[in-house]
Structure 1
């Protein structure tokens, strides 16, 4: 996998993971809140139904109070009470029922077939002994009981909430109940709404995550294209700079060959031709002319050596960097007339070829610039090893220059920009400071292990 793909993956994967975690947390909390809401709705409805049932039972008790409170216990009065309760109903599914203490049904207006039957051991589909539980609840004073019973309007078994009280003197249980299918409907609707909200939230999170992933992908693609364009521009500039440097170096060598060696060789040729004519004429000055030609030939040989030394100093290969810079400093002092102070503290260490060539070229470029532009009187060069690095410092007492303007200009030779790029390529540091009276170039270059 390429680096750019790894970067995009590292940006997208945490985003997807964070979105998944957020979605899971939202889902968990939404489900909990939905369940709490459903239980709250159920509790609220049950509480309202309990209050309603108490009111119904109180109304029934009020209706039979004149009969029950008369103090009579004969079967006739009891039948009147049962008839009165049978006539009290509310809605299609609201009615009262009466059982004796043994669980025998005494009155059931909606299911008359149950009258006279003992239902104490009867259970609903969930195993609840409904009548027995009602008797227990009525005797304990709580009065409320939930069980499943056939709903008259639909004929289906439906959960029911009943409230019962005891008519202690006769040992009867009086009660009524409300069916809870509306509670199931309300809680089911609440749960359905919560589920719909959860789905909507999850889709929203997924949409946001998708948009974020697309934005990251688009940003990565844009950055990749931008980096490609920038890299292409840098490669083009580098190629142009290399070609320009090659052409400038060829032009310099061509000028030196034409202006120096060619003129010297032409002068030698004229000297030798003149010596030949003088010898043929028997003139005595022919020997002096010949010697002058030999001297000019020696100058041509020295110029060839100088050009060769500029291209690749032989001392750099034979004796190392310290000796090559020493020779360069000595030749510069002799040629320019400036005082050059050279100090080296490498302790005889031999540097690798790349580092040696880079430092030598930097000194060469620095001295060339000093000679051309600095108007200096003295130059100091210091070369030393400092721990795992080598340090080079070149100073002069010239007029200085505007560093920002020089770096923006396209100068000849390797130039300040090329010096910096060369040092950065080798992992070193390059600093340059300039002011009237002092210009200092400092290079710190790490040595390979």
Structure 2
């Protein structure tokens, strides 16, 4: 994954995760609120239905009260008349009264006459509840209310029902009625559905906000990407220009050294040999002296060629390693400038010698640093330190010159420190420059590859 895609992912993913978390929380809270509202509504409706049921049963009891309370009327006759009265009582489309004896035998059931006379003690509803047992238990406990499933006469389907019963102890009867709760279930379902609809609307709004936010982030990332591309292109062009300029400067330097050094020496050697040849042709005894002078200048030319070759790429760097190459560089620098150079090198540099790219980079950095000291520092002493710290190698140049400005590391003029910085950044290293009058410390730290440490 490219860096721009990583940045975009790190920007968008937390936003999406936050919106998903908010959406989940809204959904959870909406469901909780819907359940609470449904429970409150159900409790309110059930309370009104409980009061209504109790009122109906009280009316039924009052209608048979003269028969139940008359001790002179024979019990069987009174019960027969009471059954007839209860059989004719009803309310609403599905409201009726029923009666059972304490053994579970049905005595009155206007809507399902086929149940009259049957023992329903073991009757269960679809939820496995023993209906008659539960009603008798509720009547004995004094509460009288009980929920159960029963067939609704108008639609002939099993429906949840709330019943209320009371005991007639003298007759051993349980008298009661019930109200079907399908309207309560519809009302609570509507409350839940409205809450879910509100949650869906909220989630859609959050989705719209998330889409707009993602589009804004994407647009911002695209604009930033275009800007970064332009900046990177400008930097690449500037770097390419600096590389071309560096190559031209290096070629000009080599050209000057060839013209001013080797070329002059070779011309002098040519004149000296021509003089020796002329002297030999005329029998001049000074021919041998001229020959020796020409050979001496030829040796100087060979030494100059070696020096230029060493500046381009020191052979010691390939044969004996960085420490030896730095030692030779230090000696040549001291001889050329008169500046005292002290070098301190760790002996454990085999791991570094197995990484030629970093070896060459450190050598070139040392060259650039010494070149800057020679040109700008006006120093009298330089300390070069090459040491290893764990899996990193560190090169330090310390001089006692006049120091450099605080922004020299990022200055746009000059290519010395900028070249050092770019070399270090390319090798994923660290570079620091600390300077005060009388002491400047340039420190470079590069990581060693794991394969080279083995």
Paired position in structure 1 for 2:364: 361
Paired position in structure 2 for 1:408: 411
Shift in Å at residue 252 of structure 1? 1.2
Aligned residue runs from structure 1 range 212-361, under 5 A: 231-266=232-267, 299-336=300-337, 338-347=338-347, 351-352=353-354, 353-361=356-364
- CA deviations 1:174-228 (Å, max 9, x no partner) are 4443333322322332343344455546656666666676677667766666665
> Is contact 1:275–1:289 with CA below 8 Å preserved after alignment?
yes
Distance 2:196 2:348 in 1: 82
Structure 2 gap ranges (5+):
none
Task: Classify 1:365/1:121 alpha carbon distance in 2 versus 1 (closer, same or farther; 3 Å).
Answer: closer
TM-score norm. by structure 1 comes to 0.72
Distance 2:349 2:141 in 1: 106
Task: Classify 1:85/1:78 alpha carbon distance in 2 versus 1 (closer, same or farther; 3 Å).
Answer: same
Deviates more, 1:132-141 or 1:308-317: 132-141
Structure 1 gap ranges (5+):
none
Distance 1:293 1:136 in 2: 136
Task: Classify 1:97/1:257 alpha carbon distance in 2 versus 1 (closer, same or farther; 3 Å).
Answer: closer
What SS does structure 2 have at the residue aligned with 1:402?
Answer: coil
> Is contact 2:431–2:445 with CA below 8 Å preserved after alignment?
yes
- CA deviations 1:251-283 (Å, max 9, x no partner) are 111222233334444555666677888999999
What SS does structure 1 have at the residue aligned with 2:440?
Answer: strand
Paired position in structure 2 for 1:374: 377
Distance 1:133 1:370 in 2: 104
- CA deviations 1:50-106 (Å, max 9, x no partner) are 22221233344445556655554158887887787678665455555667786433x
What SS does structure 1 have at the residue aligned with 2:383?
Answer: strand
Distance 2:136 2:349 in 1: 109
What SS does structure 1 have at the residue aligned with 2:117?
Answer: coil
Shift in Å at residue 340 of structure 1? 1.6
Paired position in structure 2 for 1:394: 397
What SS does structure 1 have at the residue aligned with 2:244?
Answer: helix
Paired position in structure 2 for 1:50: 50
> Is contact 1:383–1:390 with CA below 8 Å preserved after alignment?
no
Deviates more, 1:280-289 or 1:143-152: 280-289
Task: Classify 1:379/1:90 alpha carbon distance in 2 versus 1 (closer, same or farther; 3 Å).
Answer: same
Q: Is 2:153 aligned against 1:161?
A: no
Equivalences, count: 440
Task: Classify 1:264/1:73 alpha carbon distance in 2 versus 1 (closer, same or farther; 3 Å).
Answer: same
Task: Classify 1:277/1:78 alpha carbon distance in 2 versus 1 (closer, same or farther; 3 Å).
Answer: closer
Paired position in structure 2 for 1:420: 421
Aligned residue runs from structure 1 range 198-217, under 5 A: 199-200=200-201, 203=204
Distance 2:259 2:6 in 1: 57
Shift in Å at residue 408 of structure 1? 0.8
What SS does structure 1 have at the residue aligned with 2:407?
Answer: helix
What SS does structure 2 have at the residue aligned with 1:163?
Answer: strand
Shift in Å at residue 418 of structure 1? 1.4
> Is contact 1:345–1:385 with CA below 8 Å preserved after alignment?
yes
Distance 1:125 1:395 in 2: 97
> Is contact 2:409–2:418 with CA below 8 Å preserved after alignment?
no
Shift in Å at residue 117 of structure 1? 5.1
What SS does structure 2 have at the residue aligned with 1:104?
Answer: strand
Deviates more, 1:4-13 or 1:249-258: 4-13
What SS does structure 1 have at the residue aligned with 2:414?
Answer: coil
Task: Classify 1:244/1:69 alpha carbon distance in 2 versus 1 (closer, same or farther; 3 Å).
Answer: same
Task: Classify 1:443/1:120 alpha carbon distance in 2 versus 1 (closer, same or farther; 3 Å).
Answer: closer
